[in-house]
Amino acid sequence: MTDWVVTIGSDEGALERSQAPRARDAALDDLGVAATAWGIQAAEQVHTDLLTAQGRGEVALTGHERAALEASVLTMLTGLVTGRPFDAPDEAVSQVRWAARQGIALDGLLRVIWRSHSGVQAALIEAMTAGVPAERLAEEVRRVSAGLMDFVAVLIDALSRVFEQESAAWGRHRSATIRRAVDEIVESGRASPSVEELLGVRLHRHHTAAVLWPLDVASYPGWSSDSARWTEAVKESLRAGSALVVPRTDGSTDVVWSSSAAPAPEALRALPSIPLPEGFSCAFGFDAPDATGFRHTLLAARGLARAAAGTVQPRVWLADEHGALALMMQDPDGAATFVHRTLAGIEGTGARDVMLRETLLAFLEHQGSRSAAAEQLHIAATTVAYRVRQAESNLKQPIVGRRTSVMAALALAVHFPHLLA
């Protein structure tokens, strides 16, 4: 019998702070008041350390770890004292079910278990140092460490099986539940506090949404490691604390990154430089705060994605740059008519007209600067001047008096060339 366990000193007031009362009451018979209270205190300290690690982004928690920790520590202490086989406590099983339902990966769950093991082991060794005679200490440390490892092995085996079973049973239902919750926010701009636990994001933060879609839906293999790496790269660029991934039934995926502060403008402008998963395009919404901002950024991303759905080349679209085009593309037939009529004379699909439109658009966007347009297009300024003259002479109506309309039509033609097909 590990006699020193039942003589551990502790704050007996911890019994009143218990968040696993069934485990506490069961432990009192075998451990006594002092050791049971010590186990609750140890769980409190390890949980505090986990919360700190979560704040640094090192672990992902469900909010149910405190009771699971307490029950596990008390079960482990009881096994050390009585010699009875270890079993995973109900509170730990419940916490694992929540982890599976919230989409936390198994390796993330195991990371929490191992960090908890290290914290409990350190607390036990400290208690042994104070309560075990020096001549017994080394042997007792080895014995208790081995017992703790046995308990962790049993815990990991049992909880991994529960996790896999729960994931299989809950996965589809959870995805549908999350989609429904996100759609409700998009429709109303409001959400109940319980939704945050389901989504794993804090709605009062800043949000940047994107829609990622495969150019060939028929051969879409599902969410891949490339997609996951891209999501993480965007998360790092935006300095976001979390990323919500919501697969849609049409093959696209909504992704919402949430951060404590608005992303830097240069980080938003740099998003197109992050390599996309092969065969995908992406549309980003505006950055915005709170539940209303969650709604606005996702609506902007979805609208831009709908507008760009006809394109065949992988590309990143930004609402700040292309949002107006998305609005004009809400009526594709009307947009096509507008482009054909406004650009009559250079509305052909041949390489020459394509070149003239791109050059004229760059020239007008740079307020008539040939050098700036040339730098953008990587051609000589004299080439810009020649092409602009050709475009102006070919247009059936002069640009004067309709500059805004011409720029809009050119932007539509350049970014959505299928309008001229």
pLDDT at site 360? 93
Report, as ranges of residue numbers, the positions in the chain whose pLDDT lies below 70.
1-7, 9-10, 101-103, 169-174, 217-224
Instruction: Give φ, ψ of 292 to 5 degrees.
Output: -65, -40
Report all structural domains of the chain as residue ranges with CATH numbers, in order of start.
5-171 (no CATH), 201-321 (3.30.70.600), 332-420 (1.10.10.2840)
Q: What is the pTM of this model?
A: 0.55
Q: Which residue has the tokens 């292309």?
A: 322
Q: Write out the H or E segment, with its range, that includes residue 283.
A: strand 280-284
Between β-strands 206-214 and 253-259, what pairing exists: parallel, antiparallel or unpaired? antiparallel
Please give the pLDDT value at position 278.
87
Beta bridge mates, 245: 255
Q: Which long-range contacts (CB under 8 A, 24 or more apart) does 330-335 make?
A: 330/303, 332/419, 335/412, 335/416, 335/419
Please give the pLDDT value at position 2.
58
